[in-house]
Chain A
Amino acid sequence: MTHHTRVPLRLSTLALAILSTTVLGEGYGLASANRDNLKTEAWQCKRCASNTGTHGTIGVGVAHNDGEDSHFGNTSGTDKDGVVASLEGDIRHRAASGYQTHFTADKLGYDNGFAQLTTGKPGQYNISAAYRAIAHYDTNQALTPYHIQADAWQLPQQWQTGATTAQMTDLQSSIQPTSLQVERDRYNLDASYIGSFYRAELGYQYEQRQGHRRASGNLLTNSTMLTERIDDATDNVTAKIYLNGTNWLAGIETQLSHYKNDQQALRWQSAFAPTFGAAYSGQNAVSPDNKAYRIAGNTQLSSGTQHVLMHIGFTRMTQDQSYLPATINGPSPVLPTDNLAGQVDITEMKLNYSGRVSRALSLRASYDYRDRDNKTQVDLYPQIITDSYLSGYAHNLEYDRTAQQAKLAAKYRLNRAAYIDIGYDYDHNNYSDLDRQNLQESTLFAKIHYRISTQWQVWLKASGSDRTGSEYSPVTTTVSPSNPLLRKSYLADRERQRYGLYGSYATGAFSASANAHWMQDDYTDTLIGLTKVDTQGYDLSAQYAVNDNINLNAFVNQDWRDSDQAGSSNFGAPNWYATSAAKSTLIGAGLDYANLLDNKLKLGIDYTYADGQNDTEVIQGLRSPYDSYYSTRHTLNTFANYQISDKFGLRFDWIFEQYQDADWANEGLAPNSIPNVLSFGDLSHDYNAHYFGLTLSYQL
C-alpha cells in the first residue's frame, strides 16, 4: 500500500503546503483520534445485539384502477382500466459474518414498478440487480384517421383528400381515439469491490422505451399531427476505479453508451390534396442511432481543512446513421455522402479549492473549462422543402462552444450563530456560427444566515448578474435574415437580480418554515425579442406532532412568472407586444395516525391541490387575449394499514383525483377546425378517477 501512496502523497504535501498557511485540526475524524491511552482488551461487546437472520415483509396487491382517461395513470402508476395486480417486498437477510442480502420491490407489475436485489458484504463487495419502470401518459383521446401499415402511417382506403381539412369527407367516419404514452423499462447490473487502498465499480444499464408521442408532418403549408412510434433502447456500460490514501483520492471513470432506434423514419400518407406536383406522402427523420464514450480522471487532495479537487474529462459523441433520401416524392438529388460522419468532442477541466483559512473564514475558488468541438464533416446538402420542391443547397453548421467559468467565494462566520457568504462568478463563452462570438456574465452574490436561537433561523440572499458580449451580428446563414433589432434571448444582454428569504421555527413537536423568492431579468439591449421576465413566489409549511401517534402537516406555495416580449411585423421597430402571466398555486395537508385499535391500525391522509395557469395576450393596436390555459388537480391519497395478526397485515389504499386542464392550442378543437392542420382535436382532460388497492402482507 505504501508503495502506491508515496508519490501522490508527496504531491499533496507540496500542493497543500502552499495553501495551508494555518492548518487547523478541526473536527473529530477517526484518523485524528488520540489512541495513546486506548486499551481494547476488555472490549468484548457482550451487550451488543446481533440482529442476524431474515426479516422483512412481502406483499401481494390487487387494485381497481379507473383508466378511462389514461392521464390518471401518471398518479396511479398504470393506465389499465380495471383490476391490476402487484408484488411488493422488503426483505433483508443478515449473516453473522456481515454478509447481507436485501430485496426490495414496489408496485411490481405496474408501469412504474421497481425491484432491486443487492447482495454482498458492505464495505467490501456488493452486487446489485435492479429493474425500474417509468411511464408517462399524455392522452388516450388523440383523434386520428391514420393506422400503421408497412412502417408508414396510412389513411383508410376510401379516404378522399381535400385542399382543406373541411373537404376531407371521410374524416368523421375514419377518426379513432389513440393513445399517446411512453413506457420505459430500465435494467441495471452493478458490482463494486473495495480493497485496502482502492475501490472498483462496474455497471451495465439497458433501457428500453416504447410508446407513441405527438409529432407533426407537413407538406408545404399543410400539416398533420401524427403519432410517432417510439421503440428504442440504450446500452450503457460504466467502469471506474479509485485509489485512496490518507490525504488523497484519485480515480478514473469511463463510460460507453449506445443508443439504438428501431424506427428508421416517420412516414405518412398525405391527407391533403397536393397543392402542386405529386407530394402524396412525406417522410421525417427520427432520432438516429448514436454512440458516446467518455473517460475522466479525478484527484482529491486534502490536508486538515484544505481541499483541492482536480478533474479532466473527454467525451466523444458520434453518429453515422444512413441518410434518408432528400425526398420521397420523385427522384432524390444525389447526397454528398451516404451518412453523416457526425462527431462532437467535449474536453473539460476543473480545478476546485475549498478550505478554512481561519476559524471564521472559509474560501472557495474554482476554474472550469469546457470545450465543445463539433468535428462533423461539412457538406452541401440539397434542400427539398417538405418533400415538395428544391429550394437550393445548404451547408450544415458546426456549432462549437468554449465555456470558461471562474468562481471565488468566502464564508465568514460572525459568531457561532451567524455567517455571511459572498462570492463572485465569471462565466465566459465563445461561440461559433451564432449571432455573437462571445458572451460573458458576471455575478455577485451574498447571503447572510442567522440562527436567532435554537428555534429560529433565518437567511437572506441576494445576487446580481450582468450578461453582455461581443457585437451582436445576426447570422447570414439563414434563408430569411433576422430583424437587426432582434436579440435572441439566450444570447442577449441581460441584467438579473435575484433575492431569496427563508425563515424557520422548530421546537419539539412543532416546526414551520417560510420562503420567499423574487427574480427579475431585464434584457437591456433588446427591442425585438424577450424584454423582461419577473418571477416571484413564496411558500409556507408546518409540521406538528400532536402526540406520539398523530402527525399533521400542511403547506402552501404560490409563484408567478410574468414575461414581456416585443416583435415587429414590418421588419422594423417594435409594433406588437406579447405578455405572458403564469401563476401556480399548491396547497396540501396531511395527517398520519398510528397505533389505533389497540396498536393495530395506522391511517394516513394526504390532500393536495395544484392549480396552474398561463395567460397570454398579444397587443398590436388592439389587445388579443388568448383563450384559457390552465390545469387544476385535487388529489386525495389515503391508506389504512391493519395488522391482522403477528404475521399478516392488510393495507387499503384509496387515491382520488379530480383533474381538469385546457390548452388554447386545442381546446374545443375538432380535427378539421383548422383548414391546413389536421389535428388530434381537443386534448383537454376532465376527469374524476379512483384507485382502490388492497395489499396483503406477510412478515417474515
Chain B
Amino acid sequence: MMNMDATGIKPLIQGSFIAILMLLSINAMATPPDEQSALEIEQILDKKFAEGQYSAKGADSCLTCHRKSQTVMALFDGVHGSTALKGSPMADLQCEACHGPLGKHNKGGKEPMITFGANSPVPPAKQNSVCMSCHNDDQRMAWNGNHHDTADVACADCHKVHTAHDPISTRAQEVAVCTSCHAQQKADMHKRSAHPMQWQQMVCSDCHNPHGSLSDASLKQMSVNDNCYACHAEKRGPKLWEHAPVTDNCASCHNPHGSVNETMLIAKPPQLCQQCHASDGHTSNAVFGNTTNAFNAGQSCMNCHSQVHGSNHPSGKLLQR
C-alpha cells in the first residue's frame, strides 16, 4: 500500500468525480424526508422567537430539569455562565439568551428550543446569528460571506460554550479541529519540510483568521507576503537588488503548509530556477543527474546565487553577494 502505484489510483480519482456528479444531478433537487421535520422545527422556533414568551424564573426554570446534566452545568465554569460579567448571556436573558424563549418547552419538553452543533435542525446561519449578536468585533467583522460562512460552518462546529475552557483555544486541539476538514493541509504538515504544525509549535490561526478576513484564504495580513513578513521580517527589505517573484509572492516558490521537497519548495532546484531562467549561458543547459556537479549538488543554483531572497550588497545584482 505504501508504494501504491499512482497509475492505478489517479484514474479512480478522476472517475469518482464523474460518478458523484451524476449522483448529484439525480438527487440534488429531492428534499430528504427527515429534513421536513427540521423545517417544521425551524418554523416553530421562528414563531417562538417572535412571540418572546420568556420563562418566569430564567435559568432556574431550565435547571429544574436540566441541572442533572454535567454538560449543562459546565456552562457555569466559563464566561458564558457568569452572572457577574457584563455582556455575558447569563447576565442578560440567561439560558434563553442563546436557546431562545422557553415558550411551552417546560410542558413536557416536546416544544423545541434553539440548539447548536452539527445535529441541530437549526440552519448554521441561524445558529451563528445568536453568537454573532454579541461577537461582532474586529476579529469577526469579515465573517459574513467568508469561506466558513458560505460553507455552512456553524460556530458550534468548532467551539464549545458549556465548558471552562473552549477546547479549540488549546493549540493541539486547534490543529486537530481545522484538519478534520482541511485534510490536504493535514497531509502537507507531515511532509519532509513544513511549518511546525504537526507538533503545534505553530497553529493554523498564526496565519489564518478562521472567522474570515479581507485577504485571500482568510489570511490575517492583507497579502501572502505580508503574512510571511510577520515572522520573517528579514525578508521584508526593501533590498537594493530584489528578486522580482520574491517581492511579488512567496508562494511562487514555496508551499507554506509543507512539501516533499526541502524548505517547502514547490519543486527542486535547479529545475525550479529553470522554470524562469533560460538565458544565453549556463542557465539554459540541461542539468543531468548522472554525476554530481556544482549545478545539481550542494545548494544547486544557490551554490553561487545564494541571495535568492534579494541582496543588499552593492555588487549583488546577480544575487551572488
Are A674 and B294 interface neighbours, CB within 8 A? yes
Within 8 A of B (CB), among A670-700: 673-674, 676-677, 679-680
- How many angstroms from the CA of A652 to the CA of B4 in the assembled complex? 36
- Asked if A386 and B145 make an inter-chain contact with CB atoms under 8 angstroms apart, the answer reads no
A563 CA to B311 CA in the complex, in Å? 30
Q: Is the CB of A285 within 8 A of B13?
A: no
Q: Is A149 an interface residue (CB 8 A)?
A: no
A451→B32 contact, CB < 8 A: yes
Q: Are the CB atoms of B234 and A287 closer together than 8 Å?
A: yes
For residues 55 through 79 of chain B, which have their beta carbon under 8 Å from a beta carbon of chain A?
Answer: 56-60, 63-64, 67, 73, 76-77, 79
Within 8 A of A (CB), among B102-154: 114, 118-119, 123, 125-126, 128-130, 132-134, 136-138, 141-142, 144-145, 149-152
Q: What interface size band does chain B fall in?
A: 35 or more
Which residue of A44, A123, A348, A539 contacts B222 across the interface (Cβ within 8 Å)?
A: A348
Q: Which of A527-581 contact B (CB under 8 A)?
A: 528-530, 536-539, 541, 555, 557-561, 563, 565, 567-569, 571, 576, 578, 580-581
Decide: B298 and A674 in contact? CB cutoff 8 A: yes
Partner of A27, one of B67, B126, B245: B126
- Bound complex: CA of A216 vs CA of B123, how far in Å? 58
Let me know if A428 is at the binding interface, CB within 8 A. no
A386–B302 CB distance below 8 A: no
Instruction: Provide the residues of chain B in CB contact with A538, threshold 8 Å.
Output: 9, 13
**Residues on the A chain within 8 Å of B137, using CB:** 199, 242, 244, 249
Whether A571 contacts B284 by the Cβ 8 Å rule is yes
* Residue contact A47 to B24, C-beta cutoff 8 Å: no
Q: In the complex the two chains form, what is the Cα distance from A661 to B261 in whole Å?
A: 11
Tell me what chain B mostly uses at the interface: helix, strand, loop, or mixed.
Answer: loop
Complex partner residue of B313 from A284, A567, A673, CB under 8 angstroms: A284
When C-beta atoms are compared, the residue in chain A nearest to B100 turns out to be A28
Q: Is B281 in contact with A480, judged by CB distance below 8 angstroms?
A: yes
* Chain A residues positioned under 8 Å from B267 (CB to CB): 563, 580
Are A584 and B239 closer than 8 Å at their CB atoms?
A: no
**Do the beta carbons of B318 and A479 come within 8 Å of each other?**
yes
Contact with B along A106-139 (1 / 0, CB 8 A): 0000001010000001111000000000111000
Q: Which residues in A have their C-beta under 8 angstroms from that of B63?
A: 47-48
A481 to B283, CA, bound (A): 11
Are the CB atoms of A460 and B24 closer together than 8 Å?
Answer: yes
B279 touches A480 (CB 8 A): yes
- The answer on a CB contact under 8 Å between A285 and B130 is no
State whether the Cβ of A641 lies closer than 8 Å to any Cβ in chain B: no
B88 near A123 (CB under 8 angstroms)? Answer: yes
Residue A524, interface by CB 8 Å: no
Contacts of A433 in B (CB 8 A): 244
A385→B57 CA distance, assembly (Å): 84
- Which of A6-14, A170-178, A607-615 participates in binding chain B? A607-615
Most chain A CB within a 10 A radius of its CB, from B63, B187, B252:
B187
Contact A214 B196, beta carbon cutoff 8 Å: no
A448 touches B320 (CB 8 A): no
Give A397 to B190 CA distance when docked, in angstroms. 39
Assuming A348-B222, A567-B278, is B183 touching A557 (CB within 8 A)? yes
When A and B form their complex, which 10 residue pairs have the shortest distance between CB atoms, in order from nearest? A27-B129, A354-B145, A34-B52, A626-B289, A612-B260, A29-B133, A43-B58, A98-B84, A287-B234, A576-B286
Contact sample, A vs B, 24 pairs, CB 8 Å cutoff: A27-B128, A28-B126, A29-B129, A29-B132, A30-B89, A30-B134, A37-B51, A38-B54, A97-B84, A98-B88, A364-B145, A370-B223, A381-B240, A416-B123, A452-B27, A458-B24, A488-B275, A489-B252, A578-B274, A587-B1, A587-B2, A614-B260, A614-B261, A626-B296
Seed contacts A47-B63, A302-B144, A585-B2; 10 additional CB < 8 Å A-B pairs: A98-B82, A309-B214, A387-B321, A483-B280, A513-B183, A529-B274, A555-B183, A571-B280, A612-B191, A629-B268
